Copies of this chain bind each other. A is one copy, B any other.
Amino acid sequence: MREEEKYTNPEEQLLYLQKRLDEEDTVALSELFTELDILSIARTLESFPTKTRDRLWEYIPEELLGEVLAEVDEDIRADYIEGLSASDLEQIVKGLDAQEVAEVLDVADEEIKTSVYASLDQEIRAQVENLHAYEDDVVGRYMDPETVNVKQGVSLEAVQRYIRIHHLLDDESQQIMITDKDKRLLGTLTLIDLIKQPQESIVDEHMDPPYTLNDQMKVSEAAALLRSKELPFVPVCDSDGLLVGQLNAADVLEITQDDADMTFKHMSGVSDEEEVFTPILRSAKSRGVWLGINLLTAFLAAFVIGQFEEVLDQIVALAILMPVVASMGGIAGSQTLTVVIRGLALGQLAGNNKQWLYNKELWVGMSNGLVWALVVGFISYLWFSDPLITLVITLAIFVNMSLANVSGVLIPLVLKRFQIDPALSGAVILTTVTDVVGFLSFLGLATLIIL
């Protein structure tokens, strides 16, 4: 097997792995896992159902197990760690850096955690305890506590020598921190400048002014910030202004990826944690909740229709056309909702932009409403040759589509004001509105005009 084959296409790699598993070719499997990097192993584990995954763990080289464990999805990590003793885990976290140890121990029982703590190298242990002291959703919890710090007034040459003598700079370091004697950050120096600038000049001449994050900042906000400013890393300071670590883009990437992913899932009523290979029972349960909520709104719509039994009983064409009204409103509204949720995520909606957007969506809703109301009216006339039904459905589509767009703006803005994730409940509230308004206007107008 050529090296290329395993790397260029995740799907082909998966197929190759499946074949070797089917043939129980343990030699090829061990060989494959020796050649793969940590990230590829983690992604591979995530691409199999639980049973197969349990077989795969055995082929992972022992010395990589800790790093793989730190890298895989939290669910999978918890599943694997559940079966381990304290001494197994002590073995696994040996050699990991503080960030990785913190990640792995996060899902362990308190008892095991305490025992593993005791086995750690003192410096790492202090760092891990420090990371664990932070809340789950703040920057401090996700930062790398190890940074390369130098004092003011030092020459670049001296910095380079200092790095070589003390074996500093791990794979994640990308900048040098220039601090005063209290560990207050004065500036940062890129590795690029460290190399390209005259070696006898001092760090002060080349340092960039420090742009820092507070360790108590919400990590999702920090992630969005790093992403929008395309920063590879940012120094982290505590509330006294002292340097405590750095937040790396690699970790940030994962978080924003997760955020986008969450929005995408929430819009369709899927929970954050659900992946393709989530076991049947867990999937069924988590989706069931959403189905239940939807059922309430569906019965609300049914209840509205129920109020118009009389007119439905007389004109069966109304029952036939009902879904068209609801469906056009639903689509128009969710188009608006999608654009607005994205605008909110990008922080583009503030002040009089909101008013502008409201007006825009009203006009888009009314103009599209008018066009499609006429189209639907025309088709309905061809179908039922009834001018009153035609009038009723034309008006109803226009009303529902115009209101749908306005709701698509107002619902997420109101939800955000109340600190509710608009992606999670926006879609279901919107559908409720467009269904209720749709049926109410259609059947209500029919009662008024036709009966």
Contacts and interface: CB of A to CB of B under 8 A. Distances in A.
A339 interface: yes
B313 A40 contact: no
A268 B324 contact: no
Contacts of A7: 211
A225 B364 CA distance: 39
B322 A322 contact: yes
Interface string A23-44: 0000000000000010110010
B291 A331 contact: yes
B191 A288 contact: no
Interface core residue of A43, A338, A349 (most chain B CB under 10 Å): A338
Interface in A214-258: 225, 227-230, 232, 250, 253, 257
A15 interface: yes
> Copies per complex?
2
Given A14-B347, A264-B260, A276 B332 contact: no
Interface stretch (A54-62, A76-84, A135-143, A371-379): A371-379
Interface core residue of A40, A275, A316 (most chain B CB under 10 Å): A316
A196 B171 CA distance: 11
Interface stretch (A103-111, A118-126, A304-312): A304-312
B276 A298 contact: no
B198 A164 contact: yes
A372 B364 CA distance: 37
Given A267-B267, A342-B261, A368-B287, A39 B229 contact: yes
B269 A335 contact: yes
A298 B208 CA distance: 59
Interface in A256-294: 257, 260-261, 263-265, 267-270, 274-277, 280, 283-284, 287-288, 290-292, 294
Interface stretch (A89-97, A178-186, A352-360): A352-360
B348 A276 contact: yes
Interface core residue of A167, A192, A313 (most chain B CB under 10 Å): A192
A103 B164 CA distance: 41
Contacts of A267: 264, 267-268, 338
A276 B376 CA distance: 28
A350 interface: yes
